[in-house]
Each structure stands twice: as C-alpha cells, then as structure tokens.
Structure 1
Amino acid sequence: MKLSILNLVPLREGQDYRQAIEAMVSLAKLAESLGVERYWIAEHHNMPNLASSATQLLIQHTLANTSTLKVGSGGVMLPNHAPYLVAEQYGTLATLYPGRVQLGLGRAPGTDMRTARALRRGAIHPEFMDDLLELRGYFENTNPVSAYPAAGLEIPFYILGSSTDSAYLAAELGLPYAFASHFAPEMMEEAVAIYRRLFKPSKHLEKPYVILGANAILADTHEQAQQLATTYMLFALGILRNARRKLHEPFASLEELWETFSVSPQEQAWLAQRSEYAFIGTPATVAFRLEQLQKQVEFDELMAVSYIFDEEKQHYSYSLLKNVVDGLS
C-alpha cells in the first residue's frame, strides 16, 4: 500500500488566504520529507473557507517550493475548463517540472450550478468522455489544432469519482481510478468492484490501480485523536448545513460540539455515515482498520485528507500514518 495526501487548502480560524496557502506549502514540504507517493490539490469554487480555486497556480507554487514531490490536481473539474486551456497550462507545468506533474480529472463542477455557469459563461458543454479524449489528443498532438508546449508530453491521467459512473469510464479507458470515499462512502465497494471487473489494459496502465480517499486523524492516544476529530466533524456539519466555516479549534468532546451547535440525532447519524471510512485513532487502531478495509476492498493506495486545526499536530498525524502504511506494505 502507498500513501498520498489530498489538500483542499482550508482556512483555519484566524487565517487569511495567504496563510492558508503558506500552510499548504508547509504540508507539501512535510509530504516530500516523508516520501509520500503524491500530493494532490483539489478544485473548489465559491467557498469562502477554501483557497483551492485556482488549482493550477497552487500546483505551480507547490512545485516551486519542493524538489522531488509529485504534485497533481485532485482534480481538474473538466466541466469548468476548456480542455485546450488545461493542456496548455499543465503542459507548461510539466515542461518546467518534468516528471512531477499529474492530472486527476473529475466530471463534477466542484461548486453550485450558478457558479458553474459563471465559470463557463453558460457554454454548452460536451460529455466528460469527449472532454477527456480531446484533452488526451492535445498531449498526443493528434487533434486538428496543437496545444503547446503540451504536444508530445506524457502526463499521467487519473479518473476521479464518487459514483459508479466514473468506475465504468476509468475501466474503459484503462486509467487509474481515485474514489472519493472521504465524502461519498456509499458506493465505494460497488464502484471499485466495477472498475476492477471491467478494466481494459491500455498503453497507459497494464492492470487496475485504485486510490481511495479517506479522512485520517492519528494521535498518540484514542482520546487525543477523538478530540482532534471534532474539527473535522464541524467542518463536515458545515457542508450538511451549507454553512462554510473555517477550521475550528477542537472541542473537548463530541458531546460539547453537539451541544454548542445543537446537532440533531439525524445530523449525528449523517456524520457517522460520512465517517464510515475515516481513520481516527492511535496508530495501532488505524493499522487494524486499514487491514480490515483491504480485506473488504482491494485498493493500492490511500490518499489521506486531514482536517486538524493545529498544523503541528496535523503534520504529526501524517507522520504517524506514513509509519502505519509503511508497516502494512
């Protein structure tokens, strides 16, 4: 099993956007020192608590501040972009940083529909498959027009998904598949099974490769991990209530969080379901749960996202997780 990191570049209470981006770079440097497989940056729009809107610029900034780390998009939401411009932008990045740039590609807009219209100005948008093939054509230089300096460059593509639709597509194209079980756990098993069953080898990939996204919060004791996880729970609650909050300092307990924000039993149940594949606890507990998940779902790589308020404790959590994953490999 390999370990990677996903970053949505969240703002913490008391931070501005510049400080959130500085924290993104700091975490990237840690990721490089730990030797993680890849570091991906998400794309979201019209969300005041996230700085991950101009993803390609954040990727460039991360690449410039690291030396060997592979950095990619988690992902480029193709409905928001003309494939031609994506090819030009990421072709430029790959020219500046050879062998370090990756393209995770998604079919969702990563925002609400009003913002999606603002991004594309109401343009009629092709099917996701058509966009993918057009984008690939620019790198292979087989389209009627060329996208320089992308033409002729090899950049690895990854299909992102949170439903079974993306599993069929990744299998048909013979590409690696990254499933977002950190926010859509319901279809994970079915989607991975479809992908592995229908996978067609391609010139890009001989056999299936599955990356699972998961929330992960590790600490020396169970109590410490549970307390740190209250930040994540409030962040997730904000998604449910459409109240986009910055990362909040942890509460003493979940009970204090429930009481402070009047969280109903139904909301608590939703949060529990959403956290079904979250790895929260000590290294020993997380190692056991990862082993159990590997028996349940065949996956090759864990891509962790960690909503921890204190940056130092977040870095320590990732260090513990890397040790756990290395011990299972």
Structure 2
Amino acid sequence: MLNLSILNLVPLRQGQNFVQSVDAMTRLAQLAERLNFRRYWIAEHHNMPNMASSSTQLLIQHTLANTQNIIVGAGGVMLPNHSPLQVAEQYGTLSQLYPNRVEIGLGRAPGTDMRTAAALRRGNINPDFAQDIAELRRYFSEESRNDSVKAYMAIGQDVPIIILGSSPESAYLAAELGLPYAFASHFAPRFLEMAVEIYRREFKPSVVLAKPYVIVGANAIVAETDQKAESLATSQTKLFYGIVSGNMQQLQPPFASEQDFWQAHQSPFIGQEQQAVKSMTSCSFIGSPNSVKQQLQNFRKQVEFDELMAVSYIFDEKLQHRSYEMLAEVVKTL
C-alpha cells in the first residue's frame, strides 16, 4: 500500500494577500483530512515574496486548530535557522496541545539565501546538523530532566522526527539514526535514486523504526484529460521559471499549453532556463487519472518508496482540490 500526503509551501496566488493564502492552506488541510491523507506538511521558506510559509510553526498551530485528526508537521524545520532548544520548546508545546498529531521534518538547508540565513541565526550559519539533531532529540527525552537546560514542554513528548534531504549525505545520516527519510525530489530530484538506495542499504534499525521508510516528494497535477492537466501545469512551470530567472512572482493563471508559455517568455538564456526548469520539475506526475497511474507505476519500478508527498501548484483552488481527489483515487488502485 502506498501512503499519500501533502506538502504545502503556502504560495500566494495572483491577487491574494497573505491572509487569503493561509485561508487556502487551511481549506486544503481540511480536504486532506476528509480524504484520509497520511499527513499534511508545511514548508519553511524565508525572504520570498510569493510564499507565506516563513513562520512555519504558527501555520502548523493554525492548521491543527482547524482540523481534527490529520497529522500536521513541518516539511520541514530548517534546523540551521533555529536553535534546537527553541524547536523543542515550540513543537513540545504543540504536542502538548494536540497530542499524537505533531511531527517534525528536519532539513539542513536554510530555505533561503545566505544573507537571510545569517540574519536568521545570527553569526552561526554553518552549524553541525547531526549534532543539532542529537541536541533536539535530547530535549524530548526523559533523560533531559537531569540537564541544566531543559525544554520543559518537550520532555517525554513523543514527537516523531523525519530527516529531509536532497543529497546522498542526508541519506547516510537518516540511515545511521534509524529515522524515516523524506527526499525533496519535488524540486531537486537529481540524486533521488542514489540517495534512496544508500538509505535502504545503510539503514540501522532503531527504537523508533524497525525498517527503512522513504517519503518521496513529487509535483502532481491531475485533471480529466491530459491536455487539461498539462495546461494547469504551466502555473507550476511559471513558478519554477521565476526561481531560475530570479523573478519570483505569485502563482499565476495557466497558459493553454507549455509551448505557449515558453513562446511568451523568450530571453537570451531561454534554452538554459528551460532546461533548468525541466530538470527541477522532472519528478512530476501530470495528466489524466489513467496517465498518472501509469506514470506512478513506472516510477515505482525505478524507486522503492513507501509514501508520496504531493505538491500541487494549481492556480484555481477548486481545480487543485479536484486534482488531489483524483490523485487519491489513483493511489488507491496501485
């Protein structure tokens, strides 16, 4: 059985303000709960004009307050931006308020540019990721009651931790710690197969996980026909083009086709930009339900994974919800 979850970067659609974007985030979480998705993660990004996910823990609390049962987590906490003590206090508090519904995905990247990273963690922009994870886990342990520095709200709280990554290095760490592993192939798919193979090969069973567990991030856009889905996907193309070209904009309405989009965005570097966008979005499942089912079946032959963490950059919220409904039906048949 393949588990299905949602990752939300809380993008602002064209014409939306931040409050409206957060309202859309909440409605999507409620849909995910109705559809029995496994988990709902909210990303962490900073200094980005088109994403509302900078204060991730606040958005997680808001989502928890507006849902009943679904697990809500950080996808992830970019640990270089925070002290482990603060993370333990924040998520320990959330776990006390919403028992058995909170988890933490931990990433080593800052989720922003280096100048912003320096502003976030004042002078320590190259912390030791493994050491910070150990410190964070210590704060959640019963043994920390004897420490001079404690995160009181976190002590004894069973908050699951998942290691995030986009490189083989993160795979080795997740395997060594015996923790679940989530790969960010929704925007950095280059090392996916290598990283998953390393993680499964090197995995050491732990008190929290007996065998490897792999979550794969992917872009997913499902519509009634291939043509409709490919048109909707041009909003995703536009978003990634903004990253590549350095001109980030709010999520835009779709073009009729991918060809129309690129014809409208000619530049001296268009070939390089097009290739970069294609590379970043290569882990995407786009099409009708039948087409997406075939794509997923082929993908599962290449990569052994346990859970699909779907991202859907669709401009029309109703069509985005319909896409997730159809994706859920597809996954049930795999």
Provide Cα deviations, 1:200-235, integer angstroms capped at 9, x if missing partner: 000010000000000000000011001000000000
Match of 2:175 among 171, 176, 185: 171
Match of 1:112?
A: 113
The 5 A counterparts of 1:234-253 are: 234-253=238-257
Distance 1:213 1:124 in 2: 26
Distance 1:126 1:162 in 2: 18
1:159 and 2:163 equivalent? yes
Distance 1:71 1:243 in 2: 31
The 5 A counterparts of 1:202-281 are: 202-262=206-266, 264-281=270-287
Distance 1:54 1:270 in 2: 29
Match of 1:189?
A: 193
Q: Is contact 1:56-1:73 (8 Å) kept? A: yes
Provide Cα deviations, 1:48-84, integer angstroms capped at 9, x if missing partner: 1000000000000000000001000000000000000
C-alpha RMSD over aligned residues: 1.0
Q: 5+ residue gaps in structure 1?
A: none
Q: Which TM-score applies when normalising by structure 1?
A: 0.98
- C-alpha deviation, 1:141, in angstroms: 3.6
Match of 1:316?
A: 322
The 5 A counterparts of 1:8-27 are: 8-27=9-28
Provide Cα deviations, 1:273-314, integer angstroms capped at 9, x if missing partner: 222220000111111111111111100000000000000000
Match of 1:80?
A: 81
Letter in 2 for 1:194: I
Q: Is contact 2:60-2:72 (8 Å) kept? A: yes
Distance 1:206 1:142 in 2: 23
Letter in 2 for 1:168: Y
1:200 and 2:204 equivalent? yes
Once the two structures are aligned, what percentage of the paired residues are identical? 61
**How many pairs were matched up?**
328
- C-alpha deviation, 1:124, in angstroms: 6.2
Distance 2:258 2:127 in 1: 45
Distance 1:126 1:228 in 2: 40
Q: Is contact 2:118-2:125 (8 Å) kept? A: no
* Deviation larger for 116-125 or 9-18: 116-125
- C-alpha deviation, 1:266, in angstroms: 2.5
Match of 2:92?
A: 91
Distance 1:38 1:251 in 2: 31
- C-alpha deviation, 1:125, in angstroms: 4.8
